[in-house]
Chain A
Amino acid sequence: MHSIQVTVGSESGLHARPASLFVQAAARQPAKVTIGRPGQAPVDARSLLSVLALAAGSGETLELTASGDRAQDSLKALAALLASDLDAAA
Chain B
Amino acid sequence: MSDLIRGIGVGTGSAAGPVARMAPVPTLPAPRAVADPAAEAAAVRAALGAVVTGLHERAARVSGTGSEVLAAQAMMAADPVLADRAAALAEQGTDGAHALATAFDGFRAALVAAGGYFAERAADLDDLRDRAVAYLLGLPLPGPPDPGHPYVLVADDLAPADTALLDPERVLALVTVRGGPTSHTAILAKALGLPAVVGCTAAAELEDGRQVLVHGADGVIEPDPSPEAVERAAERDRRCRELLARFQGPGRTADGHPVSLLVNLGAPHELAGAAAADAEGVGLFRTEFLFLDRTEAPGRAEQAAAYRQVFSAFAGRRVVVRTLDAGADKPLPFATSADEENPALGVRGLRTAARDPQLLESQLAAIAEAARDSTAQVWVMAPMVSVPREAAAFASRVRAHGLPVAGAMIEVPAAALRTDRLAEVCDFFSIGTNDLAQYTFAADRTLGSLAELLDPWQPALLALVATAAASAAEHGRPIGVCGEAAADPALALVLVGLGITSLSAAPASLPEVRAALATHTLTECRELAELALLADDADDARRKVRSSTAGR
| Co-complex (A, B) | yes
* B75 with A15: CB separation less than 8 A: no
Quick one: which of A32-50 are within 8 Å of B by CB?
A: 43-44, 46-50
Chain B residues near A52 (CB-CB < 8 A)? 111, 114, 118, 121
Residue of A nearest to B82 (CB): A49
Q: Once the chains bind, are A49 and B115 in contact (CB under 8 Å)? A: no
A50 to B109 alpha-carbon distance, docked (Å): 12
Question: Roughly how many angstroms separate A20 CA and B76 CA in the complex, as a whole number?
Answer: 9
Which residues of the other chain, A, contact B294 by a CB distance below 8 angstroms? 12
A48 touches B79 (CB 8 A): yes
Residues A55 and B76 in contact, CB atoms below 8 Å apart: no
Nearest-CB residue, chain B, relative to A57? B295
Q: Are B76 and A48 in contact (CB under 8 A)?
A: yes
Q: Using a Cβ–Cβ cut-off of 8 Å, how many residues does chain B contribute to the interface with A?
A: 20
B138 contacts chain A at the CB level, 8 A cutoff: no
Q: Given the known inter-chain contacts A49-B76, A53-B107, please indicate yes or no for A44 contacting B81, CB distance below 8 A.
A: yes
Contact A55 to B114, CB < 8 A, known contacts A44-B80, A47-B80:
yes
Chain B residues closer than 8 Å to A20, beta-carbon distance:
72, 75
CB-CB < 8 A to A44: which residues of B? 80-81
Q: How far, in whole Å, are A3 and B121 apart by their CA atoms in the complex?
A: 30
Interface size range of chain A in the complex: 10 to 19
> What are the residues of chain B within 8 A of A53 when measuring CB–CB?
107, 110-111, 114, 118
Residues from chain A with Cβ under 8 Å of B295 in the complex = 57
Contact between B81 and A55 (Cβ–Cβ < 8 Å)? Answer: no
Q: Which of B77-136 contact A (CB under 8 A)?
A: 79-82, 107, 110-111, 114-118, 121, 125
Task: Name B103's closest neighbour in chain A (CB-CB).
Answer: A49
A47 near B82 (CB under 8 angstroms)? yes
Q: Is the CB of B114 within 8 A of A23?
A: no
Residue B539, interface by CB 8 Å: no
Q: How far is the CA of A50 from the CA of B125 in the complex (A)?
A: 13
Output the least CB separation between B72 and chain A (Å): 6
- Residue of chain B at shortest CB distance from A44: B81
CA distance A44 to B78 in the complex (A): 13
Give the docked Cα–Cα distance between A53 and B114 (Å): 7
Q: A49: which of B107, B116, B117 is its contact (CB, 8 Å)? A: B107
Enumerate chain B residues within 8 angstroms of A57, measured Cβ to Cβ: 295
Q: How far does the alpha carbon of A52 sit from the alpha carbon of B72 in the complex, in Å?
A: 12
Give me the 9 closest cross-chain CB pairs, A-B, nearest first.
A55-B114, A53-B110, A47-B81, A49-B107, A49-B79, A47-B79, A48-B75, A15-B117, A55-B118
A-B contact pairs, 5 of them (CB 8 A): A48-B79, A49-B107, A49-B125, A52-B114, A57-B295
Extra 8 A-B pairs, beta carbons < 8 Å, given A47-B80, A47-B82, A53-B114: A12-B294, A15-B118, A16-B117, A23-B75, A47-B81, A49-B76, A53-B118, A55-B116
